[in-house]
């Protein structure tokens, strides 16, 4: 490389450290795409880095299906896990908190503190549950816009998201073209494929056919459809990994039992992959809300970037004014590289500034969360131009 | 900057839209952006080159030229440039067709296999030429379709491609008048500006 790569900070200084989630209450009604309005709502969020005097260094992070506001750092010193995108957000990381002010929120309809199906419906005094208004991706963009106004920011340096987050970032570029300079879309698509929708429907069926689902009013029955939500997560999880990735991670290793002939059958045979998926399902079903899962998967299914632009993505992207970076991963079959390339081709045809990298990775769709060296190089390389726009010399 | 890149710049109009096939580290597009305010995008397959191009603020799309340019619309660029990549392509003639479909005008540069050194090497030693400029062995080389100045002009003739400008760069890395008098013998690198 002609230019030295950014220094790799040590484990001690590349974290945003301890972060404290904040809550913001909006008491004006939020008009939604479905025609209904949320009378009031809360947004839980975290910020990393400092907003500069010109308020020109803001970056908005849009989360994916099961994501939330806790994208980087830890909530306490003995926190076992960091935020979901700690690999990319922090001092010296691609989204460099020494330079940028990063806002990460939990979207409405979520279940990590922002108003969603588990919140109390002010008109009934009971949890919203299945009565929570159906949401579209653009509703999240609207609520994110309110957050932007709250911080007095008139233009993001970038709106960044992976997967469903990338769909929000693209919607930003069309709905508020003057409100962002860059749109970074990772492992995403302009709309889901039939196969994607099919997997989402299995997940939803798993939830709604759980005996404890009670038409979505499980909280009123003091129960949770954990079995169904766990199954939904297990199916989802398979689609986030690649075949090779699963082979490398689990192979046919056994957690318990013995498959040798004549080895007896006292201990049940369990493959590592079974145990892993069950653990993932159980962990998720204890921490995520089933109605949120239904709502989020439907928002994903209904998303169609170009629907209102005569189904023509080129026509749609003509409305954008920002520059784009699009990235995909070779083994991602949930949001395959071909879907990202469709975005790129439409942007080129619309005469927009766009760069694209197809990163070789074994990790399937989950790769967007993993600090794969080439992914980080591409991300760093592109972010350099954002830093230069802010007048940072390198 | 490589001399072929310097040589082609006058053929590229200010404020035009340029597609650079095999853009390498983005040097040409960066220079054209600064000096001629072009809006450009490069296609590249090498990961390190892609990172370098991104870091210098050049738009680059990861793309294998051997799959063609089917992703790009007719006449969507003012100029399509391909420097020193023709000989690496599986179907060079089809890529030239595609370049002329996507761009109104094209620039192609390639190493001239008709240069006297290549002829001498092959004639005297009876072996495929290996030089500082083309350092690869025949069995392990990215260059799978060498041609001469004459070959290229024959192809243009067959395809009814108009040659708007052409030049060669001689061994002294300049546009010497002598080399341009005997381009197929004295040109190391051939430079063509073509259109439909």
Element holding A354 (H helix, E strand)? strand A354-359
Contacts of A357 in chain B (CB under 8 A): 47, 50, 54, 62
**B52 and chain A: CB distance < 8 Å anywhere?**
yes
**A341 and chain B: CB distance < 8 Å anywhere?**
yes
Interval B14-24: pLDDT, tens: 999 999 999 99
**B76 and chain A: CB distance < 8 Å anywhere?**
yes
Residues flagged as binding site of A = 233, 366
pLDDT at A180: 98
Return all residues near A308 (Cβ < 8 A) that are at least 6 apart: none
pLDDT at A6: 41
Residues in chain B predicted with pLDDT less than 70, given as ranges, are none
**B72 and chain A: CB distance < 8 Å anywhere?**
yes
d(CA A192, CA A14): 35
pLDDT at A265: 67
> Which residue from B17, B60, B76 is facing A355, i.e. has the nearest CB?
B60
Label each residue of chain B as H, E or C.
Answer: CCHHHHHHHHHCCCCCEEEEECCCCCHHHHHHHHHHCCEEEEEECCHHHHHHHHHCCCCEEECCHHHCCCCCCCCCEEEEEEECCHHHCCCHHHHHHHHHHHEEEEEEEEEECCCHHHHHHHHHHCCCCCCCCCCCECCECCCCCCECHHHHHHHHHHCCCEEEEEEEECCCCCCCHHHHHCHHHHCCEEEEEEEC
Return all residues near B52 (Cβ < 8 A) that are at least 6 apart: A1, A2, A3, A381, B25, B26
Q: Do B55 and A3 touch (CB under 8 A)?
A: yes
> Which residue from B47, B55, B72 is facing A348, i.e. has the nearest CB?
B72
d(CA A289, CA A109): 10
> Which residue from B41, B52, B71 is facing A1, i.e. has the nearest CB?
B52
Q: How many residue pairs from chains A and B have C-beta atoms closer than 8 A?
A: 67
Instruction: Compute, in degrees rounded to 10, the torsion defined by CA atoms B31, B44, B111, B165.
Output: -50
Residue A225, exposed/middle/buried by CB under 10 A (0-12, 13-18, 19+)?
buried
**A100 and chain B: CB distance < 8 Å anywhere?**
no
**A380 and chain B: CB distance < 8 Å anywhere?**
yes
**A374 and chain B: CB distance < 8 Å anywhere?**
yes
Contacts of A356 in chain B (CB under 8 A): 60-63
> Which residue from A374, A377, A385 is facing B57, i.e. has the nearest CB?
A385
pLDDT at A393: 54
pLDDT at A269: 82
Output the six-digit token pair for B66.
Answer: 């051997």
Q: What crossing angle do the helices spanning A290-302 and A137-150 adopt, rounded to 10°?
A: 100
Q: Do B41 and A378 touch (CB under 8 A)?
A: no
Q: Do A348 and B62 touch (CB under 8 A)?
A: no
Q: Do A344 and B17 touch (CB under 8 A)?
A: no
Chain A residue whose CA is closest to B53: A381
pLDDT at A1: 35
- Kindly give the pairing relationship between strand A158-162 and strand B17-21: unpaired
The CA distance from B77 to the nearest CA of chain A, in Å, is: 9
pTM equals 0.94
d(CA A140, CA A163): 15
pLDDT at A7: 38
d(CA A255, CA A276): 9
**Measured in Å, how far apart are chain B's first and last C-alpha atoms?**
29
Exposure letters A76-87 (e unless 16+ CB within 10 A, then b):
eeeeeebbbbbb
Task: Look at residues B55, B129, B33 and name the one whose alpha carbon lies nearest to residue A325.
Answer: B55
Q: Do A377 and B47 touch (CB under 8 A)?
A: yes
Catalytic residues of A: 163, 332, 365
* Other CB atoms within 10 Å distance of the CB of residue A216: 20
Tell me, what's the ipTM?
0.94
Instruction: Give the mean pLDDT per block of 10 residues along chain A (394 residues).
Output: 39 85 97 97 98 97 96 95 97 97 98 97 95 98 98 98 98 98 98 96 98 97 97 95 93 87 77 94 96 98 97 98 98 97 98 98 96 97 96 66
């Amino acid at each position: 490389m002609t230019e030295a790569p950014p220094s790799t900070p040590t484990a001690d200084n590349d974290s945003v450290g301890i972060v404290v989630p904040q809550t913001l209450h909006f008491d004006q009604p939020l008009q939604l795409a479905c025609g209904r309005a949320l009378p009031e709502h809360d947004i839980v969020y975290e910020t990393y880095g400092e907003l500069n005097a010109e308020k020109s260094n803001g970056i908005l992070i849009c989360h994916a299906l099961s994501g939330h506001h806790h994208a980087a750092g830890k909530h306490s010193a003995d926190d076992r896990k960091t935020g979901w995108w700690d690999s990319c957000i922090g001092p010296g990381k691609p989204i460099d908190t020494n330079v940028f002010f990063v806002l990460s929120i939990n979207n409405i309809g979520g279940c990590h503190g922002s108003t969603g199906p588990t919140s109390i419906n002010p008109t009934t005094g009971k949890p919203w549950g299945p009565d929570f208004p159906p949401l579209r991706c653009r509703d999240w963009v609207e609520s994110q816009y309110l957050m932007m106004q709250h911080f007095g920011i008139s233009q993001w340096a970038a709106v960044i998201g992976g997967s469903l987050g990338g769909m929000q970032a693209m919607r930003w570029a069309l709905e508020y073209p003057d409100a962002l300079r860059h749109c970074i879309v990772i492992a995403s698509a302009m709309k889901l494929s039939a196969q994607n929708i099919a997997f989402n429907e299995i997940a939803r069926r798993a939830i709604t056919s759980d005996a404890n689902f009670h038409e979505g009013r499980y909280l009123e029955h003091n129960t949770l459809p954990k079995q169904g939500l766990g199954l939904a997560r297990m199916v989802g999880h398979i689609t986030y990994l690649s075949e090779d990735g699963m082979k490398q991670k689990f192979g046919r290793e056994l957690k318990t039992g013995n498959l040798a002939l004549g080895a007896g059958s006292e201990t049940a045979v369990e493959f590592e992959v079974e145990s892993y998926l069950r653990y993932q399902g159980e962990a998720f079903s204890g921490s995520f809300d089933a109605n949120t899962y239904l709502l989020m998967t439907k928002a994903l299914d209904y998303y169609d970037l170009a629907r209102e632009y005569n189904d023509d993505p080129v026509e749609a992207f003509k409305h954008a004014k920002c520059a784009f970076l699009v990235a995909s991963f070779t083994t991602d079959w949930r949001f395959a590289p071909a879907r990202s390339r469709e975005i790129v081709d439409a942007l080129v045809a619309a005469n927009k500034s766009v760069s694209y990298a197809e990163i070789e990775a074994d990790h399937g769709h989950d790769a967007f969360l993993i600090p794969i060296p080439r992914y980080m190089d591409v991300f760093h390389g592109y972010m350099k131009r954002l830093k230069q726009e802010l007048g940072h010399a390198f | 900057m490589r001399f072929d890149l310097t040589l082609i710049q006058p053929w590229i109009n200010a404020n035009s839209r340029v597609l650079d096939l095999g853009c390498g580290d983005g040097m040409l597009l960066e220079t054209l952006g600064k000096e001629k305010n072009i809006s450009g995008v490069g296609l590249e397959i090498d990961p390190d080159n892609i990172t370098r191009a991104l870091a210098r603020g050049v738009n680059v799309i990861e793309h294998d030229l051997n799959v063609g340019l089917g992703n790009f619309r007719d006449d969507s660029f003012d100029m399509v440039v391909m420097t020193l990549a023709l000989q690496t392509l599986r179907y060079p003639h089809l890529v030239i067709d595609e370049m002329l479909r996507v761009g109104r005008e094209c620039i192609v540069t390639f190493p001239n296999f008709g240069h006297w050194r290549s002829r001498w090497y092959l004639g005297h030693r009876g072996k495929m030429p290996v030089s500082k400029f083309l350092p690869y062995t025949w069995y392990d080389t990215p260059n799978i379709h060498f041609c001469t100045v004459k070959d290229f002009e024959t192809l243009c003739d067959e395809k009814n491609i108009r040659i708007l400008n052409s030049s060669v760069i001689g061994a002294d890395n300049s546009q010497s008048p002598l080399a341009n008098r005997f381009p197929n013998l004295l040109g190391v690198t051939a430079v063509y500006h073509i259109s439909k």
